[in-house]
Amino acid sequence: MAEIPVRSSGVSVVILREVGAVTEVLLLRRNHTLIGEWCQIAGGVEQGEKAWETAVREVKEETGLTCSRLYSADICEQFYDVERDVIAIAPVFVGFVDPNAPVILNNEHSDFRWCAFAAALEMVPFAGQRHVLRHVEAEFVQKDPVEHLLINHRAV
């Protein structure tokens, strides 16, 4: 019997900012793969990197932002990749950034938007993304995140 390979070689990062009593999520419009679609930050793990290190690097590369707090979201984004015939699983991270920090896009994206979760749920194309966003809103916005999920990325 043949098997479908499971691949975990990338990460997904949901970026949040707190503007007064409102928490907004950052969405980026893709330029290369999934052209024109709104997505969170995603990227591949480089040789020798831990997944959380990939998250920090990808946030900086794709947006110019630095996370003041970084958490494991305690969830994975998963989907079937038709081109590679694999089930792709990516750990999800949640990063909080300064509400006044400017977003500086790299060439992977053509636009960005800070939005409420309700709007973000309407903008993203995939059910898996909506599942992740609902989880992040429930666990990181509607209540305080579990402190054990905090990654002390600045101490390393």
Identify the residue whose tokens are 């500086």: 104
Domain map of the chain by residue range? 6-151
pLDDT score at 142: 96
Cut 0.85: pTM above it: yes
CB crowding 117-129: b at 16 or more within 10 Å, else e: beebeebbeeebb
Closest alpha carbon to 101 in 65, 131, 75:
65
pLDDT score at 58: 96
Amino acid at 130: R
pLDDT score at 36: 83
Per-residue pLDDT tens, the chain, 156 aa: give them: 888 889 899 999 999 999 999 999 999 999 877 788 999 999 999 999 999 999 999 999 999 999 999 999 999 999 998 988 999 999 999 999 999 999 999 999 899 999 999 999 999 999 999 999 999 999 999 999 999 999 987 655
pLDDT score at 32: 77
CA distance 126 to 110: 19
CA distance 85 to 64: 33
Q: What is the CATH number of domain 6-151?
A: 3.90.79.10
